[in-house]
Structure 1
Amino acid sequence: MSQSILILPGDGIGPEVASAAKTCLEAVAALEGLDFTFSEAPFGGAGIDACGEPLPDETLEAAQAADAVFLGAVGGPQWDGGAQRPEQGLLGLRKALGLFANLRPVKVFKGLEHLSPLKADRVAGADVLIVRELTGGMYFGEKREGDDEAFDGCSYSRAEVSRIAEIGFKAAQGRKGKLTSVDKANVLATSRLWRQTVNDLASDYPDVSVDHLYVDAAAMALVTGPTRFDVIVTENLFGDILSDEAAVVAGSIGLLGSASLGASGLGLFEPIHGSAPDIAGQDKANPSGAIASAAMLLRYGLNQPKAADRLEAALEAALLSDERTADLGGSASGSAFAGAVLRQIEKAGAFEPAE
């Protein structure tokens, strides 16, 4: 049965990295005997230019009809100051699809510790999954904006906290069995509700150990001792900031992918980096985060774990080669690195016995 993947290339380097991800998905599908149908739609700044909206109605309909959605990147200075901003499309898409859980894995591969700006012995073995609540909090609260005063409301219900905490607990059960809940309960009422809800759920997961950190302490611990973490669960704003900070641990924001999931099973998959308009169209962008996101699409979006394992192994092997992009200290173009991943996929396939 064919599975449909909607690609939203977006803006800046988005089309470049999305193309690399698509090529890798096609290669893995051929080896695994999978049938993928790809389509594209305008989104973000490209949506504004094409349809006057960052999330055109036709794009939303296509997303709702797909089995999985892949996004390149959104944003750029040419849309600053306009009535519509590309990022509004992303927030709107998450809300419309009910994508309340954002998974951002940060892993330091053995042999690549030197890529991190932190000391190699500090990051060796770091493997963290950040689970970020995605549709609540300050980003979606009441807003008032003026020249002399502005207001951003932050609101969470127990149900919203409970459903994201359960994602964190279940993820921890499949990993090292440790969950760190990050909040600011010494100051914020929403954080006190958050902490209480996590504690109330803990008895349902006796095999998971739970601790709590204030967000400022967590930010410090991520760079002073990242190996202390297994799964981090936190609210929208804190998760946005901490996941970008955690990218430093791995060595480059260009390495990291993400999955945004909801109750329906439909997911949105995207690298965590921005649109990087300063290098757009120059074939300099590292497609690793997009390829990692494609592997998450296979695993979480299409329930193809074997294909996901194959793609992740090929990406790791390519990263261990000498063909790296500039953000990782190399000189390879983005397309050249994508080619290195493809060769690793094909190399693995060549050594498999015929069925």
Structure 2
Amino acid sequence: MARSLLLLPGDGIGPEVMRQVRRTIDWYNRRRGLDFGVEEGLVGGASIDAHGAPLTDATMDKALKVDAVLLAAVGGPKWEGLTFEKRPEAGLLRLRKEMDLFANLRPAVVFDALVDASTLKPEIVRGLDLMIVRELTGGVYFGEPRGIEDLGNGERRGINTQVYTTSEIKRVARVAFELARKRGNKLCSSEKSNVMESGLLWRQEVIALHKADYADVELSHMLADACAMQLVRNPKQFDVIVTDNLFGDILSDEAAMLTGSIGMLPSASLGAAGADGKRKALYEPVHGSAPDIAGRDAANPIAMLLSFAMALRWSFDLEDEAVLLETAVQNVLKTGMRTADIMQPGMAKCSTSVMADTILREMDKLSS
């Protein structure tokens, strides 16, 4: 059965880490006969340079037709002077909006081999395995009115609107409840219901959905600022956290650093299931484009590879194949192989391509 993928390498280190995913896809096609059909496209600054827009209509159309999209990273100082709607990040936002990718899944897992890479004490992070579910198409990033207006006399005002509806809240909460059922059966909903009406509505709707359909799941609530504090105080108290777009952006980056490096963490952005059960989906590492190391073969490819593992699991129902890749990554880390971002004393520093080479060899070994 043909499986279709659109690869969007983007900017900075994006092409380097995506190259390792392409090699991994080729491995699955060759060794497992998975028949992935792959197209590539431009997004972000690369698309601006080639086409004058951060995402073309043609690439958007391809993204809507494939089974899954893999995106590496966008942005960089080269394009910082552009207006908001023409900057590289606008291409990513358009993908999320037009694919209606409302649920962003960001796991934070501490591999045993990297316990000492975290800035927190080993006993705090050892065994950590939590999932943050971030609402992705609503809230302050998309609310209207927005903009910057001139008030005269040298004064200007920036406006962004935080807004949520019942349906937006319930659909992302439903994803989080379903995930919790498959994990530790615990869900924490995080907002600012004490000072924001949108946060109060969020809490009310999550409570109503819990009572109606998910009473078997242990539900708790935590204000977003308290959640940020608890993530560094006692992160293992959490199993699944569901939160809005703004707080999810912040909390998931904080959770990323519990693992030792943002270069280790993947993410999945999912849409609603269609009549055939399939969802529009985009997979990307949590890290950015890291232009300071672009072109040096120094980036950590693991977050990009683990994003592909999430695609195997969520878009193609290939659990065994996802576990194979994840296990290979863990085994390589146990040998002491490290890229610069996770380098520790006594370990072996390696390049992007050497890390991927080693992971592919480990997959060969696990498959023999």
TM bin (shorter chain)? over 0.9
Candidates 291, 297, 302, aligned match of 2:311: 297
Candidates 183, 186, 190, aligned match of 2:191: 183
Paired residue total: 350
Aligned equivalents of 1:25 and 1:122: distance in 2?
36
Q: How does 1:83-98 map to 2 (within 5 A)?
A: 83=83, 84-98=86-100
Tell me the TM-score normalized by structure 2.
0.93
Aligned equivalents of 1:30 and 1:177: distance in 2?
38
| Aligned residue number for residue 223 of structure 2 | 214
The offset of 1:113, in angstroms, is 1.0
The offset of 1:46, in angstroms, is 0.7
| Aligned residue number for residue 247 of structure 1 | 256
| Aligned residue number for residue 261 of structure 1 | 270
Q: Which runs of 5+ in 2 are unaligned?
A: 151-155
Q: Is the alpha carbon distance of 1:317 and 1:29 closer, same or farther for their aligned partners in structure 2, counting shifts above 3 Å? A: farther
RMSD: 1.0
Aligned equivalents of 1:141 and 1:315: distance in 2?
39
| Contact 2:192–2:224 (Cα < 8 Å) also in 1 | yes
Cα deviation 1:263-286 (Å, max 9, x = unaligned): 141210000100000000001100
Does 1:173 find its partner at 2:181? yes
Aligned equivalents of 2:315 and 2:22: distance in 1?
15
Q: How does 1:280-291 map to 2 (within 5 A)?
A: 280-291=294-305
Cα deviation 1:47-91 (Å, max 9, x = unaligned): 111111111011101111211100010001111111310000101
Which 10-residue stretch deviates more, 168-177 or 315-324? 315-324
The offset of 1:322, in angstroms, is 1.6
| Contact 2:3–2:67 (Cα < 8 Å) also in 1 | yes
| Aligned residue number for residue 64 of structure 2 | 64
Tell me the TM-score normalized by structure 1.
0.97
SS in 2 for 1:75: coil
| Aligned residue number for residue 347 of structure 1 | 365
| Aligned residue number for residue 14 of structure 2 | 14
Q: How does 1:29-40 map to 2 (within 5 A)?
A: 29-40=29-40
SS in 2 for 1:34: coil
Candidates 127, 145, 149, aligned match of 1:146: 149
Structure 2 residue identity aligned to 1:348: L
Structure 2 residue identity aligned to 1:85: R
| Aligned residue number for residue 238 of structure 1 | 247
Aligned equivalents of 1:120 and 1:28: distance in 2?
35
Aligned equivalents of 1:217 and 1:284: distance in 2?
36
The offset of 1:21, in angstroms, is 1.5
| Aligned residue number for residue 312 of structure 1 | 326
| Aligned residue number for residue 227 of structure 1 | 236
| Contact 1:28–1:345 (Cα < 8 Å) also in 2 | no
Aligned equivalents of 2:29 and 2:269: distance in 1?
22
Aligned equivalents of 1:138 and 1:314: distance in 2?
39
SS in 2 for 1:15: helix
The offset of 1:304, in angstroms, is 1.5
Cα deviation 1:217-237 (Å, max 9, x = unaligned): 110111111100000000000
| Aligned residue number for residue 117 of structure 1 | 119
The offset of 1:150, in angstroms, is 1.2
Candidates 107, 110, 120, aligned match of 1:108: 110
| Contact 2:107–2:130 (Cα < 8 Å) also in 1 | yes
SS in 2 for 1:146: strand
Which 10-residue stretch deviates more, 243-252 or 107-116? 107-116
Structure 2 residue identity aligned to 1:253: I
Structure 2 residue identity aligned to 1:184: K
| Contact 1:131–1:232 (Cα < 8 Å) also in 2 | yes
Aligned equivalents of 1:266 and 1:108: distance in 2?
28
The offset of 1:243, in angstroms, is 0.5
Aligned equivalents of 2:42 and 2:28: distance in 1?
26
| Contact 1:182–1:232 (Cα < 8 Å) also in 2 | yes
Does 1:195 find its partner at 2:203? yes
The offset of 1:6, in angstroms, is 0.5
Aligned equivalents of 2:205 and 2:360: distance in 1?
45
Which 10-residue stretch deviates more, 305-314 or 86-95? 305-314
Aligned equivalents of 1:235 and 1:31: distance in 2?
41
| Aligned residue number for residue 353 of structure 1 | none
Aligned equivalents of 2:56 and 2:302: distance in 1?
28
Which 10-residue stretch deviates more, 225-234 or 20-29? 20-29
| Contact 2:265–2:286 (Cα < 8 Å) also in 1 | yes
Structure 2 residue identity aligned to 1:202: H
The offset of 1:249, in angstroms, is 0.9
Structure 2 residue identity aligned to 1:233: V
Q: Which runs of 4+ in 1 moved over 2 A?
A: 28-33
Aligned equivalents of 1:29 and 1:242: distance in 2?
37
Structure 1 residue identity aligned to 2:194: N
Cα deviation 1:159-183 (Å, max 9, x = unaligned): 0000000000000000000000010
Which 10-residue stretch deviates more, 25-34 or 337-346? 25-34
SS in 1 for 2:288: coil
| Aligned residue number for residue 279 of structure 1 | 293
The offset of 1:110, in angstroms, is 2.4
